[in-house]
Amino acid sequence: MHHNFDQETKGWVDLIHPREPSKRLTTDLDARWVIIGAGFTGLSCARRLAELNPNEKIILLEAREIGQNASGRNSGYAVAHSHFSGGYQKSQLEHYQRIDRINQTGLNSLKSIIENSQIECDYKDSGIYHMAADKNSSEECEQFEDYLQKREIEHTNLSKDQINMELGTNWYLKGVKVKNGALIQPAKLVFGLADSLPSNVELYENSPVLQIDQGRVNTIKTPSSILKAENIIMACNYEPIANGKLKQRVVGVTLSGSITRVLNQEEVELLGTEPSWGVLSLHSGGATVRLTEDKRISIRNTAEYSNHHLLDDKQLKNRQEIHRQAFNNRFPKLSHVDFEHLYSGVEGVTANKTNIFKKLSNNLYYAGCYNGSGITKGTAFGLAMADYACGNDEGLVRDCLSIEEAKWLPPKPILDLGAWYVTKQRFKGVGKDR
């Protein structure tokens, strides 16, 4: 495992008051439980392990600072119902229900923590828009509407005029709003989750893992310490895979987005009746667009294979031209509004769009790779992994274990070529949805 990280803007973290990071680990420690990675999965797992083992110390290691990983770079969608491309398939009903249960468990857990710990994260559970701007995505919209109807999932079908009235854009041809689901400011949420951990969780930031030697008791090496751990839970998305056992099952895809300055009242009045909202495209390569609680508009619409690296300044500036065109298409009356923030982030992606929840050995576990839906699913996987490592294999754990295994991927350089091609195909036929 490496510890040389890309130095780049931090996405949503740049929009809020800085947080004082926890200290780095500089002393040797012994512990029964060590979790690697303090994103949504790791934080959820640590909280649950602390509840199950109130008299034991839980060590949580984060290679960077909280919010610098995918947890602070995503667009803040806490989904309850995943969108499955193509029409409803009765034979897949059990799979649909399983994914919904996992998502809903994660959403319920986050909502409870936010309320109980009074985390200010702009949480809004008024639903999520799914939109179509072109012919291909319009056909997908019809299939999604049919899926929601047959699943009896509460939703509202939207015409072009209804979308314009609610969101203030006539770019989309049609859409659907799924009632169950929430929007959050991701950096605020992950800060709040980290700062409200149980007292028996010790969080160490800027403490990357350099090496793991497995045995009856595992040895973990960081730049300034050596830990002896009875159990290790890897909750670091795609990153441990880059140099670990599962490296041929997942790749990191780099996305980029821009966020405007705060809109003034006159500019807000040019938009629709909804005070804040989030749009997901019904095309896999389409733009993700949000009007935030503090009246900024964010847009994210590029994805590429960059060997799991963030984009440098020159690359980001080039991608922002794509963001700007998409923004102006949707909001021509706001084309004068400047972008204030520009960022990239990496998501873990598998060839068959599944996730990883595995016991790698008697005392080594791994949970990660969410294909862009890590807030709720990652939270649920963290809960389930804590229970699984403590001997429970029922309910949520069984749901996570039943997910289809990620397909094997070829080694480099074929892996690089294949990942580049598959990511490129993501935008095939995207048209006006980009």
Domains in the chain: boundaries: 11-72+188-249+352-413, 123-184+251-351+425-433
Q: What amino acid is encoded at 108 in this protein?
A: N
Judged by DSSP in three states, 328 sits in helix
Q: What amino acid is encoded at 58 in this protein?
A: I
Give domain 11-72+188-249+352-413's CATH number out of 3.30.56.10, 3.90.79.10, 3.40.50.300, 3.50.50.60.
Answer: 3.50.50.60
E strand residue ranges, 286-363? 288-291, 297-305, 339-349, 356-361
Q: What amino acid is encoded at 223 in this protein?
A: P
End-to-end, the C-alpha distance of the chain in Å comes to 35
Task: Give me the pLDDT at residue 1, please.
Answer: 45
| Stated pTM of the model | 0.95
Query: 109, 380 in Cβ contact below 8 A?
Result: yes
How would you label 339-359 residue by residue, b for 16+ Cβ within 10 Å and e otherwise?
bebbbbbbbbbbbebbbbbbe
CB neighbourhood size of 16 (10 A): 17
Q: Phi/psi at 228 (nearest 5 deg)?
A: -105, 120
Q: List the beta bridge partners of residue 213.
A: 219
Cα–Cα nearest to 364, from 28, 56, 33: 33
Query: 363, 231 in Cβ contact below 8 A?
Result: yes
Number of helices (H), then strands (E), in the chain: 10, 18
Task: Give me the pLDDT at residue 8, please.
Answer: 63
Task: Give me the pLDDT at residue 4, please.
Answer: 58
In which residue are the tokens 């929840």 written?
A: 357
d(CA 380, CA 399): 10
Strands 288-291 and 277-281: antiparallel
Judged by DSSP in three states, 341 sits in strand
Q: Does domain 123-184+251-351+425-433 have CATH number 3.90.550.10?
A: no
E strand residue ranges, 86-224? 128-132, 155-159, 174-178, 181-183, 201-204, 211-213, 218-222
Measured on CA atoms in the order 391, 393, 397, 403, is the torsion positive or negative? positive
Show pLDDT as tens, one digit a residue, over the chain (434 residues). 445 566 566 789 999 999 999 999 999 999 999 999 999 999 999 999 999 999 999 999 999 999 998 999 999 999 999 999 988 999 999 999 999 999 999 999 999 999 999 999 999 999 999 999 999 999 999 999 999 999 999 999 999 999 999 999 999 999 999 999 999 999 999 999 999 999 999 999 999 999 999 888 899 999 999 999 999 999 988 776 544 555 567 888 999 999 999 999 999 999 999 999 999 999 999 999 999 999 999 999 999 999 889 999 999 999 999 999 999 999 999 999 999 999 999 998 888 889 999 998 889 999 998 988 899 999 999 999 999 999 999 999 999 999 998 888 888 888 888 888 888 888 999 999 99
Task: Give me the pLDDT at residue 184, please.
Answer: 98
